[in-house]
Structure 1
Amino acid sequence: MIVPQNKTPHEMLHLSDIDDQESLRIQMPLLMFYKYNSSMEGKDPAKIIKDGLSNTLVLYYPLAGRIVEGPNRKLMVNCNSEGIMFIEADANVELEKLGDSIIPPCPYIEELLYNEPGSDGIIGCTLMLVQGLELDDLDLDFYLQDSRDLELVLESGGLDLDRFELECMNS
């Protein structure tokens, strides 16, 4: 688990009525592929991501909490600093060999992404799971929870995603 680098407020935040809609109570996978960048030579991309996320979670501390359900099924974020999950893995495959199959709907999504036990819903689960998967022809690819807005959150915590030459695909 990656936790905030510094102490953060412990509080309960109510979600807006828009965010509390039943149809939005889902997890949304996102595949982001990062090509090898020579400026990263000799550096551990997983450590850079972990450190950047830990720093980011200080500013965006609700992401380190858990969704809980209150009276009348009202959703809240328990800002408890439990952290987000980070998983590293290797795959003996080249992205090029997967071809267009990674374009949604991706038939390999179940093989590429880790399924956190007990995460069928959103209650009590980590709000973000980051999976670093090293492919034969790529440095790391990451599974994150959102798209460009998430990139901005990560960059605000000092994580320079431009150094990873981002290619983003929603899955």
Structure 2
Amino acid sequence: MGGKDENIICLCLFKNFEEHTKEDFNRVMDVNFYGAISLTKAVIPIMKNQRQGKVCFTSSGVDVTGFIDISSYASSKGAIESFAKCMNIEYEDSGITFHIMHPPLTDTKSSSPLPIPREFKASPEKVGKGFIKNIDSKKFLITPSFTDRISVRLSYAFSLPMGKMLVKMTKKAKRDLK
């Protein structure tokens, strides 16, 4: 370990709540949440020995706003955010910090089932370059751009109305595609 080491963990199942089984929730939590815990357990001893370290977890706007058909994913990302807050407090005097990286909706394989036109999704290259540029930020929430930071702040300030608006927009886009 040295310099900047990153690991992005993500599993998203696109099913409505009634279609989700307990096993589906467990699988998503195993990959997203427990994967983050396992990674943290592996790096903490090294970082404590070095008296410094920075752990960044990838989150999602849907853990803040909610969304349809991805309740297991959104719940797992919300758990990661709460975990990062707890770790920040627990390791405050150790030189180790914990952060949440909030990407915008990005044009990836995992977002492809969403009925949203590609032009409304950020390119993975642009998001990656933005995170590289901002990775040294001391802020708890790290975004790839100033515009994304404003969007995330609005999502926190108006979480449920924002989630409902995003669902309406998605449903409209889905109808328009037909």
Q: Under a length normalisation based on structure 2, what TM-score does the superposition of the two structures give?
A: 0.28
Is the helix fraction higher in 1 or 2? 2
Higher relative contact order (CA 8 A, sep 6+): 1
Q: Under a length normalisation based on structure 1, what TM-score does the superposition of the two structures give?
A: 0.29
